[in-house]
Amino acid sequence: MVEYAALAIALAGTATSFQKGRRQERQAVRAEERQEQAQSVARSAAASERMAQAAESKRMQQRKPDASRIMAKARQRRMADETFLTGPAGVQPLGSTRYVG
């Protein structure tokens, strides 16, 4: 009878261990699925961030001013108003010419 009790206890212990092992296996599978889902979300977020950065970069490149064209226009306007006598400021260099001989 004692042997049967020991055998029953051993079988119960084995069954309990088996159940715990199955539970841990299911938990590991669920954890792996959650990890894969989190990685998928992170990849998606990174891809959308790269797309947003590319769009912003493209928008900024389009808005970049053309300095050479701006300087050429300013030079043309300045040169249109100046003469040899008036200089770049557009005024007579001596002020009033009343006292000049």
Per-residue confidence (pLDDT) for residue 11, from 0 to 100 = 79
Per-residue confidence (pLDDT) for residue 45, from 0 to 100 = 93
Using DSSP's 3-state secondary structure scheme, residue 99 falls into: coil
Per-residue confidence (pLDDT) for residue 86, from 0 to 100 = 55
| Euclidean distance between CA atoms 68 and 12, whole angstroms | 88
pLDDT digits (tens, 9 = 90+) for 15-27: 888 888 899 999 9
**Where in the chain are the domains?**
2-78
**Low-confidence residues of the chain: pLDDT under 50:** 101
Using alpha carbons only, give the angle 94, 99, 101 rounded to the nearest 5 degrees: 100
Per-residue confidence (pLDDT) for residue 95, from 0 to 100 = 54
| Euclidean distance between CA atoms 73 and 70, whole angstroms | 5
Using DSSP's 3-state secondary structure scheme, residue 101 falls into: coil
Per-residue confidence (pLDDT) for residue 100, from 0 to 100 = 53
- 0.85 exceeded by the pTM? no
- Quickly list DSSP for 40-98: HHHHHHHHHHHHHHHHHHHHHHHH---HHHHHHHHHHHHHHH--TTTTTTTS-TTS--T
Per-residue confidence (pLDDT) for residue 31, from 0 to 100 = 95
Per-residue confidence (pLDDT) for residue 41, from 0 to 100 = 93
